[in-house]
A and B are shown apart, each in its own frame.
Chain A
Amino acid sequence: MLTGKLVRVRHARNKLVPLYVEASDTGLQALAEQLLLAYRSSVSRTRGEIEDELSDLIPEGPHGLLPAGLAKLLEDRCEFEVASDHPPDELREAVFKAAAVHRADAAKAGVPFDRNAVLTEIVGSLSLTLTPSQIDRSLFADLKAEQRVQAFEDISAERLVLRYNVSLAQAILLRCTAMEARIWGETPARFRQLFRAVKFHRLICTIHETAGNSYTLKLDGPLSLFSSTQKYGLQLAMFLPALLHCKAYDLKASVRWGSERKEKQFALSAVDGLRSHLADFGVYTPPELQMFADNFATKVKGWVLATDPHPIPLDDGVWVPDFRLTHPVTGKEVFVEVFGFWRKGDIEQHYRKLHKGVPGKFILCVSEQMRADEDEEVTFGNAVYRYKRTPLPEEVARLAALVAGTGNK
């Protein structure tokens, strides 16, 4: 991530406008290639040496911010190691102790302090296979500037530039106190992915249905209830890449900026074209679900099925069912989630949470074939439907009537 000093923003009254860069800018691509060249040949060189090499590409002052930022992102992709033949801190201890004795002796004898004599003594006393000059070199090998690159994770110039834009937004969110994101037209699987990220980053999320098939997520943390705090800035910044996977979103954040921590607004939307650098896992929707929805519509009368996501807030987190069944006669609703692979313990825990949060309003469909453990027989109430090959719409409707108590109409 970019450090505060490397952030490039423009101020427009109370708005913070990051100076995103254009990925197609050929000048910028060339600069990125030059920096990449340095890092691709960086293995076994020290941080200090790389810095020296880059000094011609990175001017002092404001014009150096962009190249320095790109370089920082590349440095983050390096793995550094302490290259030394003997642990440097042990060498230091031995050398400094011996030097103190030598210096006192030299002063008494009225002769100058002899550096080489100290090194030679150390070779003997530690019974090392090192030469004095190797000790000399290894003495501070653990200093940051002397650490050597062990591996560099390569990236294309274009992706580096895209990554830069995301880092810029993240560096601003680091200083934010609260964030609100509106998301349009996504699948239940996408929402589940988002709420997993919320939980992973230990944030608190409230969710509201908003106009135009959209949901609005408000994100902050436990202490935000009492006063606005930047405590959760890092977590919110880390959450951003998950949000960037959405097709249509906009984001608003309140930021305290600069040394005076002035209140500023930051906005971001899909139009800004930021691209997540995280792989997009876990949003696959199996074709069976679509088939089930189609069959349900033709085979079942009395319940209407909707496939648009309907996140439901629970005590700890948000549940996103696959389907919503509505019983037009009574207006009652039942939510359905279909599981692929499952384990008894997980389903039990999930069941308990839903039973507490939305009693009489849910059905979980679990497959007999895709059970992942071989525990003893399990029995749940009506709210768990154990299907053989594919879930049958008629059976789900029957259970819905039972849990919702609508009778067989």
Chain B
Amino acid sequence: MSDNAIQLTYDRGTVVVSGGPHGFDFQSLPGVLFDPRTSTHRAQGRHYRAIVEQLIREKRPYEDTARGWPAEQTGWKLNAERTARKYQTAAVAAWLKTRRGVVVMPTGTGKTFMAFLCIEKVGRPTLIVTPKIDLMVQWAQELERAFGVEVGMVGASVFDYKPLTVTTYDSAYIHLEKWANRYGFVIFDECHHLPGMSYMEAANAGLAPFRLGLTATPERADGGDQLFPQLIGSVVYRLDITDVAGEFLAPYETRLVYIDLTPEEMQTYTNCREEYRRFVADRNISLSGPDGFRRFLFEASKTPDGWKALRAYREQKRIMQTASGKFKLLEELLHKHASDRTLIFTADNATVYNIARRYFIPAMTNQTRPKERKAILDRFHVGEYTAVVTCQVLNEGVDVPAAGVGIVLSGTGSATENVQRLGRILRKHGDKQAILYEVVARGTTEEYVSDRRRQHRAFGGMRDEG
């Protein structure tokens, strides 16, 4: 230990530099500023690598207590079930040149596996940051399978840091003081989420010298992608959809199925609809206008009349979305597809739990803890469960390769949502033929909603089974 060694210490997401030979100019180190509040010299965690590199280059003695992860190899080994595709190997090679940077690959081309290869090569405690709880669970599951080590999770009331850990952008930001100096390698999944005002603090605070960003869509409307070089590194590899299309998706068909409301349902539906439409018309609100629905809510909150109108609105929507005919049809479909793997989609949590209770089908909602989600997906995968019911949880990103049947009982008019729901059952798995049923209550506004959400070429050949 040298008397005038430069000291690097860690302070809540920053690196504090002190000591050193008399008169040493701390601000000659990358990113280091004088902090008048504490009379210290301080840098964002992200400059850690550059600071150390410069100290080594200038042959200055330094003592580093900032780094909170061990300097030795973790020794994680991928089990050899899977071989890399050519473009995955190329992506890894491109990234390894600086061990920093963003890799752009289309959805479904194996970004995750590419990241696994990097984790094995780097061999340092690794944190993976994902946008959503489901993706966190999915990463944890696949990491455990691939490396055979226990994987920690932080998010959704789970708080368990391990050398290999998956978290969400939200949790990474909230708890950055806790993890920023404990991981040598950080992976940002769907990294186009990172350059927001809050989330990027996680990348600023982290000391990790090695960084990998994964995305299919790096460009951001706000120009935030300009920040990639400082937060993660530049784009080091890019694979185009046209390079790989056609090979990886299952063949599918989509079917539109109509059900009728019972006479009583139709009666209540019509009455409720008239009631709220009268209110809307009396107040001169155009519901199709840009701000129409917000205005309706506002006007409705002011008078008892309005309250009633709002209740009527909710009631007609409820009848349409949870018509008894839909449940009868659901029973038939479950019977028909008893030996397939089925995903059931609804518009709201209440219906999810209603179905879960009536038919004893596992439910996945925002209230389902990560551990249970993981268990459900595992059992679904091996066939212990043959159906899962969900509302928005499985819309984006999560792989459910075994699923071959989708049943959309209700949903929004969003084409994106519909395409994503379809996407869940399209992962190639054996020689399955995927089917997506869309159930619509005849004679209700749901018909328009359904029309709107099929405004996408994926639904071009929808068959009508009315």
Cα distance, A205 to B36, chains bound together (Å): 11
The residue in chain B whose Cβ has the minimal distance to the Cβ of A206 is: B37
> What is the size, in residues, of chain A's interface with B at 8 Å between Cβ atoms?
48
Question: Which of A61, A96, A218, A261 is within 8 Å of B300, CB to CB?
Answer: A61
Say if the beta carbon of B90 comes within 8 Å of chain A: no
Bits for B160-174, please: 1 = Cβ < 8 Å to A, else 0: 000000000000010
Chain B residues with CB below 8 A from A61, complex form? 297-298, 300-302
Question: Which of A59, A202, A218 is within 8 Å of B307, CB to CB?
Answer: A59
Question: Which of A97, A218, A220, A261 is within 8 Å of B384, CB to CB?
Answer: A97
Say if the beta carbon of A283 comes within 8 Å of chain B: no
Most buried by B among A98, A103, A107, A221: A103
Say if the beta carbon of B335 comes within 8 Å of chain A: yes
Stretch at the interface among A1-9, A34-42, A136-144, A346-354: A136-144
Say if the beta carbon of B385 comes within 8 Å of chain A: yes
The answer to whether A202 touches B302 (Cβ under 8 A) is no
Please provide the chain A residues from 64 to 115 with a CB less than 8 Å away from any CB of chain B in the complex.
64, 89, 92-93, 95-100, 103-104, 106-108, 112-113, 115
Cα distance, A225 to B12, chains bound together (Å): 12
Cα distance, A108 to B384, chains bound together (Å): 17
Most buried by B among A98, A104, A136, A231: A231
Given A60-B297, A63-B301, are A225 and B359 also a contact pair (CB < 8 Å)? no
The answer to whether B198 touches A231 (Cβ under 8 A) is yes
The residue in chain A whose Cβ has the minimal distance to the Cβ of B43 is: A226
The residue in chain A whose Cβ has the minimal distance to the Cβ of B334 is: A103
Could you tell me the distance in whole angstroms from the C-beta of A69 to the nearest C-beta in chain B?
A: 15
Bits for B73-103, please: 1 = Cβ < 8 Å to A, else 0: 0000000000000000000000000000000
Could you tell me the distance in whole angstroms from the C-beta of B129 to the nearest C-beta in chain A?
A: 16
Chain B residues with CB below 8 A from A118, complex form? 360
Question: Which of B42, B353, B387 is within 8 Å of A222, CB to CB?
Answer: B42
- List the 10 closest pairs (A to B, CB-CB), nearest first: A61-B301, A107-B338, A99-B360, A222-B12, A206-B37, A222-B14, A100-B386, A96-B362, A104-B338, A60-B301
The answer to whether A223 touches B205 (Cβ under 8 A) is yes
Chain A residues with CB below 8 A from B348, complex form? none
Cα distance, A97 to B372, chains bound together (Å): 14
Chain A residues with CB below 8 A from B53, complex form? none
Say if the beta carbon of A345 comes within 8 Å of chain B: no
Could you tell me the distance in whole angstroms from the C-beta of A390 to the nearest C-beta in chain B?
A: 37
Chain B residues with CB below 8 A from A63, complex form? 301-302
The answer to whether A113 touches B359 (Cβ under 8 A) is yes
The answer to whether B298 touches A97 (Cβ under 8 A) is no
The answer to whether A93 touches B375 (Cβ under 8 A) is yes
Cα distance, A92 to B302, chains bound together (Å): 43
Cα distance, A204 to B37, chains bound together (Å): 7
Say if the beta carbon of B57 comes within 8 Å of chain A: no
User: What are 28 of the A-B contact pairs (CB < 8 Å)?
Assistant: A59-B307, A60-B297, A60-B300, A63-B301, A89-B372, A93-B379, A96-B360, A100-B385, A107-B335, A112-B331, A113-B331, A113-B335, A115-B359, A140-B353, A143-B367, A144-B367, A222-B13, A222-B14, A223-B12, A223-B44, A223-B201, A223-B205, A226-B33, A226-B44, A227-B204, A229-B197, A231-B173, A256-B197
Please provide the chain B residues from 230 to 251 with a CB less than 8 Å away from any CB of chain A in the complex.
none
Could you tell me the distance in whole angstroms from the C-beta of A150 to the nearest C-beta in chain B?
A: 18
Say if the beta carbon of A62 comes within 8 Å of chain B: yes
The answer to whether A106 touches B13 (Cβ under 8 A) is no
Cα distance, A103 to B336, chains bound together (Å): 10
Say if the beta carbon of B35 comes within 8 Å of chain A: yes
Say if the beta carbon of B39 comes within 8 Å of chain A: yes
The answer to whether A225 touches B205 (Cβ under 8 A) is no
Say if the beta carbon of A46 comes within 8 Å of chain B: no
The answer to whether B33 touches A225 (Cβ under 8 A) is yes
Could you tell me the distance in whole angstroms from the C-beta of A151 to the nearest C-beta in chain B?
A: 21
Could you tell me the distance in whole angstroms from the C-beta of A220 to the nearest C-beta in chain B?
A: 8
Say if the beta carbon of A230 comes within 8 Å of chain B: yes
Given A204-B38, A223-B14, A225-B35, are A107 and B177 also a contact pair (CB < 8 Å)? no
The answer to whether B38 touches A99 (Cβ under 8 A) is no
Cα distance, A144 to B157, chains bound together (Å): 13
Cα distance, A92 to B339, chains bound together (Å): 21
Bits for A111-125, please: 1 = Cβ < 8 Å to B, else 0: 011010010000000
16 more CB-based (< 8 A) A-B contacts, given A104-B339, A226-B33: A93-B375, A95-B360, A96-B379, A97-B379, A97-B385, A99-B359, A107-B339, A115-B358, A144-B367, A202-B12, A222-B11, A225-B37, A225-B42, A227-B204, A231-B201, A315-B38
Please provide the chain A residues from 244 to 272 with a CB less than 8 Å away from any CB of chain B in the complex.
256, 261
Most buried by A among B198, B301, B339, B360: B360
Given A100-B384, A106-B338, are A143 and B198 also a contact pair (CB < 8 Å)? no
Chain A residues with CB below 8 A from B36, complex form? 206
Cα distance, A217 to B335, chains bound together (Å): 69
The answer to whether A96 touches B37 (Cβ under 8 A) is no
Say if the beta carbon of B356 comes within 8 Å of chain A: yes
Chain B residues with CB below 8 A from A144, complex form? 367
Chain A residues with CB below 8 A from B307, complex form? 59-60
Cα distance, A107 to B335, chains bound together (Å): 6
Say if the beta carbon of B310 comes within 8 Å of chain A: yes
The residue in chain A whose Cβ has the minimal distance to the Cβ of B338 is: A107
Could you tell me the distance in whole angstroms from the C-beta of A278 to the nearest C-beta in chain B?
A: 23
Say if the beta carbon of B278 comes within 8 Å of chain A: no
Cα distance, A136 to B44, chains bound together (Å): 54
The answer to whether B205 touches A113 (Cβ under 8 A) is no
The answer to whether B335 touches A64 (Cβ under 8 A) is no
Could you tell me the distance in whole angstroms from the C-beta of B332 to the nearest C-beta in chain A?
A: 10
The answer to whether A140 touches B386 (Cβ under 8 A) is no
Cα distance, A89 to B379, chains bound together (Å): 14
Bits for A331-357, please: 1 = Cβ < 8 Å to B, else 0: 000000000000000000000000000
Chain A residues with CB below 8 A from B12, complex form? 202, 221-223
Say if the beta carbon of B361 comes within 8 Å of chain A: yes
The answer to whether A115 touches B360 (Cβ under 8 A) is yes
Cα distance, A261 to B35, chains bound together (Å): 27
